[in-house]
Amino acid sequence: MRARVLVAAAAVLLTAGCGSASGVRVGPPEPSGPTAPVCGDVVVTPDGGQAREECLSVGSTLRVRLEPGDPAPVEKGAALHEVAKGVYRGAKAGTAEVSGFRRACPSARPGGLSCHAVVGWKVTVDVR
């Protein structure tokens, strides 16, 4: 009698396993590879002569800090949508480029010498 109880208990435990009928515990799947980082909103201060690369998620915002008197940036590519001067939103996955120029010198004081040099800048944006 005792042997039958032990066999029945063992059968129940083997059938139950760890939460599944086959006795195999199933957990969350392991990641199959590296996942792409989630990119959020980005604020960029253009540095003359240096190209930058930024990551932006679809729907996130890229804001370019412009100085008073800076001309509006030029945007190339279909991945961004211009919201306002210097403000872009990730429209769809792809690559876009935002570029422009700014004065290399501060504005001259009245009656002082002025500098007319400009430097270009460029930001390549990877929208994911």
pLDDT tens digits along 57-80? 999 999 999 988 888 999 999 999
CA distances for 33 relative to 27, 30, 39, 48, 125, angstroms: 17, 9, 18, 38, 24
pLDDT band at 12 (very low <50, low <70, confident <90, very high): very low
Residue 85 lies in a domain: yes
Domain hosting 87: range is: 37-107+115-128
Residue 56 lies in a domain: yes
Answer yes or no: is 72 within a domain: yes
pLDDT of residue 99: 95
Nearest one of 40, 49, 67 to 125, comparing CA atoms: 40
Residue 20 lies in a domain: no
The domain that holds 62 is classified in CATH as 2.60.40
pLDDT band at residue 35, thresholds of 50, 70 and 90? low
In a domain, 23, yes or no: no
Number of domains in the chain: 1
pTM of the model: 0.65
In a domain, 53, yes or no: yes
| 25 within some domain | no
Query: b/e per residue, 108-117, with b = 16+ CB within 10 A?
Result: eeeeeeeeee
| 18: confidence class by pLDDT, cuts 50, 70, 90 | very low
The answer to whether 59 and 88 are in contact (CB under 8 A) is: no
CA–CA separation, 10 and 7 (whole Å)? 5
Residue 126 lies in a domain: yes
106 and 61 Cβ atoms separated by less than 8 Å: no
